[in-house]
Amino acid sequence: MSLPKDFLWGFATAAYQIEGASEKDGRGPSIWDTFCAIPGKIADGSSGAVACDSYNRAGEDIALLKELGASAYRFSISWSRIIPLGGRNDPVNQAGIDHYVKFVDDLTDAGITPFVTLFHWDLPDGLDKRYGGLLNREEFPLDFEHYARTVFKALPKVKHWITFNEPWCSAILGYNTGFFAPGHTSDRTKSAVGDSAREPWIAGHNMLVAHGRAVKAYREEFKPTNGGEIGITLNGDATYPWDPEDPEDVAACDRKIEFAISWFADPIYFGKYPDSMLAQLGDRLPTFTDEERALVQGSNDFYGMNHYTANYIKHKTDTPPEDDFLGNLETLFESKNGDCIGPETQSFWLRPNPQGFRDLLNWLSKRYGRPKIYVTENGTSIKGENDLPREQILQDDFRVEYFDSYAKAMADAYEKDGVDVRGYMAWSLLDNFEWAEGYETRFGVTFVDYANGQKRYPKKSARSLKPLFDSLIKKD
């Protein structure tokens, strides 16, 4: 047994992926409602309008969490349920607040610790239309701060807050590739608007400042009374050099992580963007004002880590194109000598590699001065899972093995390497709306029968986590 006795484990979800009830009780549209309505943007032409119907089944979800033995549950708030138009001078929707107040009350009554994410990609569409959403340096941080303050005030029982989930995805997939809402890209066959070379860096900068404003408000106005902690959740993959004998490939491994994680973490921990990004991007990276730097630097009580996979990294020698966001390198699943990073899954980008998880935990711990880390997402899809009969889907041994190997790699990082990891949230409690992949990809430990009223059936993996963590967490 190697994890600390107060270690929290459980499951994670996101509002747009599970809630449904998209027009109920005064909820306004988000950029994802708008994006899903554009033909061709979602693989199966679907949306999150119904999803897992969790808004109407909150009690059922809590009962499931309790049945599975979870000590924590990470979920996100739908901004447009709280403030349908989004802005600091727009009306607040009491029905939306009441829903989350009851949900938090019921979770805590069930002995489950809530981890609340304020922003999991679903910006109110009203703000995107009003002033360009994440691209507006003046308005967006102020509106986010107001929204955050509204939620902090409504939910004093919550002691673990996450401002942004994976701002990399909002910035790059939303404003470079156009793969995610709002779909901006320089590729005019995909979008009439967008500048892939500049917009993602602007969006990223504005999210950092918005994060800093929300953290300042929490620390000054709520933490003295309520206690608690607040941080940001960042995503990133582990890296191995394609050719370990090539110092350029070795250097490219760090650069890949810097362009994904340190883009946001370095300003928070060090007050500046990584040198590798400054060197490649130049003046396309916004410059922090003194006021912005003061807001951002030091604005993490913990580091939220989302992690799934690893890559071999091969450096490039040509001048990078303006829309490059990786750091002038290639990501591969096979090394120079033919080693494979891990088995295929349903997700083109995901191959299990638990050693990479341990390595990245160490990388983060060393770079950022051994911060407290919560693993806020970790999980896998299974190749062809959605095409199997339900009985076979429920026997998800591949996912059981993934969780087992990753949890043990994390425990080794804690016990043997001194990484201060305090919690783990499996992605995801439920099969759900998997963004641009629609309902074709399943990440849940619980099968959701979309065709028959969203009925839930726990898979083998759902019941595997309690005995796994019982075996890893110290008893005294």
Q: In the annotation, is 437 catalytic?
A: no
Amino acid code (one letter) for 352 = P
Distance between CA atoms of 469 and 461, rounded to whole angstroms?
13
Q: Ramachandran region of residue 13, left (φ > 0), alpha (ψ -120 to 50) or beta? A: beta
Catalytically annotated residue among 19, 139, 145, 377: 377
Q: Which two tokens stand for residue 45?
A: 């032409």
Strand-pair partners of 427: 12
Residue of 145, 166, 199, 434 marked catalytic:
166
166 is catalytic: yes
CA–CA distance, 124 with 77 (Å, rounded to integer)? 12
Q: Which residues are catalytic?
A: 166, 377
